């Protein structure tokens, strides 16, 4: 199967399986999404969604967040892991959003990535899911599947992002990145992956399995 055919098949199958792509992290606005995405680093979305109601009950905007101490934030988010780093980043980025952005989450990649604890992937998620800007955030699921599906060399997430952006139409980026995450969790996990139960891998690697 040629690469163009693989891409077309993958897009078609993902659309069949996941015509609707709800955002996995519970949030109410751009700020709570930003904090939730930051918390999701090396933590499951499920765990983040269990913790954020307690955090956002105390502070769901930057003005209330800076009233909490870093230790108070850390105590709440401790189950998400990396709490010393994340609590400090949440407090500092809240200060910057107030001081430099009038309390609003910035709407450019450059300004987002300048915030403490916000890397390119986090910025891409916020730009995509909060502001509707075409982006292709690459997490571990997408990085793994892009290599399995022979869409990228898998050398690093930056290369994977470039490869997927080149292969998948721009108007599909925001939806496709969520569809791939959903598919990876349901059918194509890192461990215990059974090709016969994974329609995309089974189709793509059909000749190798014969």
CATH number of the domain enclosing 110: 1.10.340.30
- 9-64 tens-digit pLDDT: 999 999 999 999 999 999 999 999 999 999 999 999 999 999 999 999 999 999 99
Give catalytic status of residue 175 as yes or no: no
Verify that 94 and 146 share a domain, yes or no. Answer: no
Q: Does the pLDDT value for residue 107 go beyond 90?
A: yes
Do residue 87 and residue 66 come from a single domain?
Answer: yes
pLDDT of residue 49: 98
Burial of 155 (0-12, 13-18, 19+ CB in 10 A): exposed
178 lies in the same domain as 99: no
CA 146 from chain centre, in angstroms, equals 15
pLDDT in tens, 68-84: 999 999 999 999 999 99
Taking the C-alpha atoms of residue 94 and residue 72, their distance in angstroms, rounded to an integer, is 15
Task: Inform me whether the pLDDT recorded for 208 exceeds 90.
Answer: no
Last residue of a domain, one of 109, 129, 149: 129
pTM over 0.75? The answer is yes
Residues 113, 157: one domain?
no
Phi-psi region of 103 (alpha: psi -120 to 50; beta: other; left: phi over 0): left
Find the catalytic residue in 86, 121, 163, 175.
121
Among 111, 25, 98, 27, residue whose Cα is nearest residue 65 = 98
**Domain count of the chain?**
2
Looking at the structure, tell me whether residues 58 and 119 fall in a common domain: yes
Which domain range does residue 55 map to? 30-129
Do 143 and 78 share a domain, yes or no?
A: no
Q: How many CA atoms lie within 13 A of 188 on its CB side?
A: 22
Residue of 26, 45, 139, 162 with catalytic role:
139
Please say if 121 is a catalytic residue.
yes
Whether 49 and 75 map to the same domain: the answer is yes
Query: Whole-number mean pLDDT of the chain?
Result: 94
Same domain, 168 and 188: yes
Same domain, 165 and 117: no
Same domain, 14 and 46: no
What pLDDT score does 118 carry?
98
Instruction: Name the domain boundary from 129, 160, 176.
Output: 129
Q: 156 and 115, same structural domain?
A: no
In percent, how much of the chain has pLDDT > 70?
98
Task: Give the domain-ending residue among 96, 129, 162.
Answer: 129
- Check whether residue 36 and residue 116 sit in a common domain: yes
CATH of the domain at 195: 1.10.1670.10
């Amino acid at each position: 199967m040629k690469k163009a055919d693989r891409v077309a098949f993958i897009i078609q199958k993902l659309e069949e399986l996941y015509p609707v792509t709800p955002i996995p992290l519970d949030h109410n606005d751009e700020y709570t999404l930003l904090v939730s995405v930051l918390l999701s680093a090396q933590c499951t979305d499920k765990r983040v969604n269990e913790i954020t109601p307690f955090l956002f009950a105390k502070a769901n905007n930057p003005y209330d967040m800076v009233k909490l101490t870093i230790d108070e934030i850390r105590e709440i988010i401790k189950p998400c892991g990396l709490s010393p780093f994340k609590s400090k980043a949440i407090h500092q980025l809240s200060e910057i959003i107030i001081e430099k952005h009038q309390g609003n989450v910035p709407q450019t990649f450059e300004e987002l990535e300048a915030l403490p604890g916000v890397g390119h992937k986090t910025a891409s998620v916020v730009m995509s899911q909060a502001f509707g800007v075409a982006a292709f955030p690459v997490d571990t699921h997408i990085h793994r599947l892009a290599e399995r599906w022979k869409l990228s060399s898998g050398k690093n997430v930056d290369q994977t992002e470039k490869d997927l952006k080149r292969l998948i139409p721009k108007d599909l980026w925001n939806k496709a990145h969520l569809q791939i995450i959903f598919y990876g969790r349901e059918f194509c996990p890192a461990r215990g992956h059974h090709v016969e139960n994974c329609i995309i891998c089974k189709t793509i690697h059909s000749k190798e399995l014969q």
